[in-house]
Amino acid sequence: MAGYVSEAVIRRLPGYYRHLCELEAMGVKQISSQEMGRQMHLIPSQIRQDINCFGGFGRKGYGYNVTSLRQHIGEILGLDHPHSVIIIGAGSIGSALAHYPDFHGETFDTKALFDIDPARVGTNIGGVPVYSMEELDSYLASHRVDIAVLCVPKEAAQEILNRLEAGGVSAVWNFAPLDLQHETDRMLVENVHLSDSLRVLSYRMAHQDGDAPKE
Amino acid sequence: MAGYVSEAVIRRLPGYYRHLCELEAMGVKQISSQEMGRQMHLIPSQIRQDINCFGGFGRKGYGYNVTSLRQHIGEILGLDHPHSVIIIGAGSIGSALAHYPDFHGETFDTKALFDIDPARVGTNIGGVPVYSMEELDSYLASHRVDIAVLCVPKEAAQEILNRLEAGGVSAVWNFAPLDLQHETDRMLVENVHLSDSLRVLSYRMAHQDGDAPKE
Is the pTM higher than 0.90? no
The pLDDT value recorded for residue A3 is 62
- Secondary structure class of A63 (helix, strand, coil): strand
Residue B43 pLDDT exceeds 70: yes
Contact at CB, A18 and B192, closer than 8 angstroms: no
**Range in A53-62, A100-109, B35-44, B69-78 with the lowest mean pLDDT:** A53-62
Neighbours of A147 (CB within 10 A): 24
CA dihedral sign of residues A176, A178, A184, A185: positive
Cβ <8 Å between A211 and B1? yes
Cβ A96–B93 below 8 Å, yes or no?
yes
Tell whether the model's pLDDT for residue A210 goes beyond 60: no
The answer to whether the beta carbons of residues A72 and A31 sit under 8 Å apart is no
B43 touches chain A (CB under 8 A): no
Mean pLDDT calculated for residue range A40-62:
82
Contact A198, A177 (CB under 8 A): no
B20 inside 8 A of chain A by CB: no
- Neighbouring C-beta atoms of residue A97, cutoff 10 Å: 28
B172 within 8 A of B190, measured Cβ to Cβ: yes
User: Rounded distance, CA B28 to CA B49, Å?
Assistant: 22
In sequence order, the β-bridge partners of residue B31 are B64
pLDDT on residue B209: 63
pLDDT, position B182: 64
Mean pLDDT, residues A15-41: 92
Please give the residue of chain A at the shortest CA–CA distance from B201.
Answer: A190
Helix, strand or coil for residue B211?
coil
Phi and psi at residue B49, in whole multiples of 5°?
-65, -45
Average pLDDT, chain B: 88
* Chain B stretch 135-164, residues whose beta carbon is closer than 8 A to a beta carbon of chain A: 146-147
Q: What pLDDT score was predicted for residue B159?
A: 92
List the single residue in B100, B190, B203 with the smallest CB-CB distance to A78.
B203
Question: Taking a contact as any Cβ pair under 8 Å apart, which residues of chain A between 73 and 92 contact chain B?
Answer: 76-79, 83, 91-92
Convert B117-152 to b/e letters by CB count within 10 Å (16 or more is b). eeebbeeebbebebbebeebeebbeeeebbbbbbbb
User: Which B-chain residues 166-205 have CB contacts (< 8 A) with chain A?
Assistant: 170-171, 173, 178-179, 181, 188, 190, 192-205
- Tell me: pLDDT of B204 over 80: yes
The string of pLDDT tens digits covering residues B191-201 is 888 888 899 99
Q: How far is CA A57 from the centre of its chain?
A: 24
Which residue, B162, B149, B129, B132, is CA-closest to B190?
A: B149
Is A66 an 8 Å CB contact of chain B? no
Please count the residues of chain A.
215
| Lowest pLDDT segment from A177-186, B9-18, B154-163, B168-177 | A177-186
A200–B10: do the CB atoms touch at under 8 Å?
A: yes
CA A49 to chain centre: 23
Count the helices and strands in chain B (H runs, E runs).
Answer: 8, 9
pLDDT at position A148 over 70 = yes
If one compares B210 and B132, the residue with the highest pLDDT of the two is B132
Minimum Cα–Cα distance from A184: chain B residue: B208
- Residue B212 confidence (pLDDT): 42
Kindly state the average pLDDT of the residues B55-75.
86
> A–B: how many Cβ contacts below 8 A?
177
* Structural domains for chain B: 7-76 (1.10.10.10), 83-196 (3.40.50.720)
Residue in chain B closest to A149 (alpha carbons) equals: B198
Residue A39 pLDDT grade (very low, low, confident, very high; cuts 50, 70, 90): confident
Higher pLDDT, B171 or A57: B171
Least confident of A63-67, A74-78, A130-134, A211-215: A211-215
Q: What is the pLDDT of residues B121-137, one digit of tens each?
A: 999 999 999 999 999 99
pLDDT above 60: residue B214? no
Q: What would the mean pLDDT of B84-105 be, rounded to a whole number?
A: 91
Q: What percent of chain A has pLDDT over 70?
A: 92
The pLDDT of residue B27? 96
Q: Where are the beta strands (DSSP E) in chain B?
A: 30-31, 64-65, 83-88, 108-115, 124-125, 128-132, 147-150, 171-174, 188-191
Of B126, B161, B124, B168, give the one whose Cα is nearest residue B145.
Answer: B168
Distance from CA of B200 to the nearest CA of A (A): 7
**In the predicted model, what is the mean pLDDT of residues A109-136?**
97
Amino acid at B19: H
- Which A residues, 98 through 137, put their C-beta within 8 Å of a C-beta on chain B? 99-100, 102, 107-108, 126
Contacts of A66 (CB under 8 A, 6+ apart): A20, A23, A24, A28, A29, A30, A31
The mean predicted confidence, pLDDT, of chain A is 88
Q: Which of A69-78, A95-104, A115-124 has the lowest mean pLDDT?
A: A95-104
